[in-house]
Amino acid sequence: MLDAVAARHPVLGRRIRDEAGAVRRFVNVYVDGEDVRWQGGLATAVRDGAVVQVLPSVAGGS
């Protein structure tokens, strides 16, 4: 799904993931409320009707 987002909106795509494909350190991706880092990572299954959220973490900033 993130690949599709990046294909349609490349600037948004690289805000979420770096060019090596990793989700940026202080960006969190949730599928149905669960952080994918603790699920299947970027291979986490996205069911029809799932809610996907991309949120900046509380960390970082200056």
Partner 1 sequence: MTDLLAIGTRKGLWLARSDDDRRTWSLEGPHLLAQEVAAVSVDTRRPTPRVLAGVQYGHWGPSVTWSDDLGRSWEETDHGAIRFPEGTGAALGRVWQLRPDSADRPDLVWAGCEPQSLWRSTDGGCSFTLVRGLWDHPHRPTWEPGAGGGAVHTVLPDPASDRVTVAMSTGGVYVSDDGATGWTPHNRGISAVFLPEPPEYGQCVHKVAVDAGDTARMYAQNHFGVFRTDDGGGSWTSIADGLPADFGFPIAASPTVPGTAWVVPLVADVQRVPPDGRLRVHRTQDAGGSWTEVGAGLPDGAWTAVLRDAFCTDDHETTGLYVGTRDGCVYASADEGETFTLVAEHLPDVLVVRAARLP
Residue 15 engages partner 1 in binding (rule: CB under 8 A): yes
Select 16 or 42, whichever has its Cβ closest to partner 1.
16
Residue 41 engages partner 1 in binding (rule: CB under 8 A): no
Contacts for 33 with CB less than 8 Å, ≥ 6 apart: 51, 53
Contact stretch for partner 1 (CB under 8 A) within 22-30, 31-39, 40-48: 22-30
Which residues of this chain interact with partner 1, rule CB under 8 A?
10-11, 14-16, 18-20, 22, 24, 26-27, 56-57, 60-62
